[in-house]
Amino acid sequence: MSGIKEYDLKIGETAPIKKGFMTTISIVYAGMPGPDVFSLAVTTSYGQVGTAYNIYIPRQQSRVDIAGGYLEILRLQPESILLRFTKN
């Protein structure tokens, strides 16, 4: 299926999950601020303008709906994350 992509990210690394004509939505692994929670930064850029926000997710959660699809958390470690993005 062409709408599925896997990303293995270390802290601070970026993965583009949705690209348009002038718009890109990306995620950045922001690590684990606590033992039971991890964080992803979601960045959106439109031309030269951009925004970003962090989402904090419980460690036991294995799916996150985002950007017209969802992320499945396959492996989570304090220094890296393996996830799969599937378009709806």
Closest CA to 75 of 56, 53, 59: 59
Per-residue pLDDT, 67: 85
Per-residue pLDDT, 2: 62
pTM (two decimals):
0.89
Rounded CA-CA distance 76/88 in Å is 23
* pLDDT value at 1 more than 90: no
Per-residue pLDDT, 63: 95
Per-residue pLDDT, 8: 97
Could you read off the pLDDT of 31-71 as tens digits, one per residue?
A: 999 999 999 999 999 988 999 999 999 999 999 999 889 99
